[in-house]
Amino acid sequence: MTAVADIMDYDEVVERFDPVLGLEVHVELNTRTKMFCGCANVFGAEPNTQVCPVCLGLPGALPVVNAKAVESAIRIGLALNCEVAEWCRFARKNYFYPDMPKNFQTSQYDEPIVFDGYLDVELEDGEVFRVGIERAHMEEDTGKSLHVGGETGRIHGAEHSLLDYNRAGVPLIEIVTKPITGAGARAPEVARAYVKALRELLLALGVSDVRMEQGSLRCDANVSLMPKGSSEFGTRTETKNVNSLRSVERAVRYEMQRHAAVLAEGGTILQETRHFDESTGTTSPGRRKETSEDYRYFPEPDLVPIAPSREWVEELRKTLPEMPWERRKRVQQEWQLSNEELRDLVNAGALDLVAETVDAGAAPGEARSWWVSYLAQQANNRGVELGELSITPKQVARVIELVAQGKLTNKLARQVVDGVLAGEGEPDEVVEARGLEVVSDDSALQKAVDEALAAQPDVAEKIRGGKVQAAGAIVGAVMKATKGKADAKRVRELVLAACGQ
Ligand code: ADP
Ligand code: MG
Ligand code: ZN
């Protein structure tokens, strides 16, 4: 039995070594159809229902490139400050795997569609780290193997395997960083922040669902170490398919510690793929890394080259949305938020919701306060994300408007929100149905005031005698009588007036 690999204390690792990272992120595009055929690109369908001769690799079937996927690839490249190739081709990457029916993957090799860019990544403390982008290329996803009967879900120990080709041929973009150096002790954090920023960018572009847990965004983390003072890269390992942001950080950190322990004892690191185990936070060996020669890449003869015209590229550039981090900066200024307030808003997943509430006419302060306090609390009680609550920013804006118009008190407003969340309709409908509107009609209030004064003659006498602080008891009684629907300030005015004050 092999013992758990020895790892070096992290502080010692970063004292003695400099890490180099390389991140490869695969993104499934959300195009309607697959990369080279008209099959639907959907997640979760019955196995082997979204297939045709092309994506099953049947003899004689011919692929056609999905233009929308090329468009997405170029937009991703532009957002990553990349060059767009004037001309590029697909290539066949030859290898056998049961979930790859053609026995080759149609990919790109030395002619990626976009290359040489960067992404500026903001770390938790606000420091910005620039990550170079080597290239992003187009390819297709493989099918899925399901290994049944084993404990781990891996093929070892399984009794049989099932194959689902629905995913075969789904458009993928692989985004590859240049070697990331200079991150030192912060390398694991940089890795996480990079994937997070990339995910946000893809979301803003609207090109993918970017669900790490469903595999529409997958990250392979390459790690190597060089002794402090050296600038010659060490041998890397590639930890495959790390499927959460937290795991990216943990996997990089663990590999740094493992490499260091091996190197410190004079051992060598094998260039291999590794698997990350979420439960133990450790990695285990996968396969020895092939070199690119093993794949016998050659240009795909069944597809024409792609030559995006410069006009088209410029048109696509105009479709780029405001980048998430730019928007954060703008919003911070417009709403006059401190760094901390902004961070809270972002961490609560409330930024978009607040922005939409403001767009619907609410004041930023009010909008923010609703989403980060009362609504956040409601989401928390229900165990859902803020965005999953069944209330829209527009409805929240309407509630805020009703408060501003004096038609609702804050307390009544919360009841209106409760009604909307409970599916009772629009805010105005809830106000109507639950009878929540503030009693602003003075004659109705006057009656309640007179009754309260009559019920507490001693208090009334005190007020008449100049003890205006005593008015609180009468105001309280009126609020109770009107079930909190009165405007307390107005009630107080009426009480004082009634007592000649
Ligand atoms: P592969 O075909 O092995 O996946 P790629 O070129 O697609 O290779 O990706 C390798 C990644 O690792 C890139 O991000 C690259 O910048 C990075 N990389 C290359 N050499 C090293 C190294 N010695 N240490 C860490 N990362 C490296
Ligand atoms: Mg690769
Ligand atoms: Zn198909």
Q: What residues have a C-beta under 5 A from ligand 3, the ion?
A: 37, 39, 52, 54-55
CA–centroid distance, 34 to ligand 3, in Å, is 7
Q: Which ligand is nearest to the CA of 133?
A: 1
- Residue 309, token pair as written in the block: 């015209």
**Mean pLDDT across 146-169:** 89
CATH architecture type of domain 442-499:
Orthogonal Bundle (1.10)
Res 153 pLDDT > 80: no
Res 4 pLDDT > 80: no
CA–centroid distance, 57 to ligand 3, in Å, is 9
pLDDT at residue 3, as a whole number:
45
CA–centroid distance, 106 to ligand 3, in Å, is 14
CA–centroid distance, 56 to ligand 2, in Å, is 23
Distance, CA of 181 to chain centre = 26
Nearest-angstrom CA–CA distance, 408 and 404: 8
pLDDT at residue 5, as a whole number:
52
Res 1 pLDDT > 50: no
Nearest-angstrom CA–CA distance, 208 and 141: 14
Contact partners, residue 79, CB within 8 Å, separation at least 6 = 201, 205, 320, 323
Res 225 pLDDT > 80: yes
Beta carbons of 179 and 233 less than 8 angstroms apart:
yes
Q: Which ligand is nearest to the CA of 288?
A: 1
Res 55 pLDDT > 80: yes
- Residue 103, token pair as written in the block: 């026995």
pLDDT digits (tens, 9 = 90+) for 353-362: 999 999 999 9
- Residue 77, token pair as written in the block: 């490249």
**Mean pLDDT across 9-38:** 98
- Indicate the pTM of the whole model: 0.79
Ranked by mean pLDDT, which of 76-85, 386-395, 433-442 comes out on top? Answer: 76-85
Q: Is 108 in the pocket of ligand 1 (CB under 6 A)?
A: no
CA 179 to ligand 1: nearest atom: 16
> Which regions of the chain carry the CATH code 1.10.10?
442-499
pLDDT at residue 448, as a whole number:
87
**Mean pLDDT across 165-171:** 97
Protein residue with least CA distance to atom 5, ligand 1: 176
**Mean pLDDT across 454-471:** 89
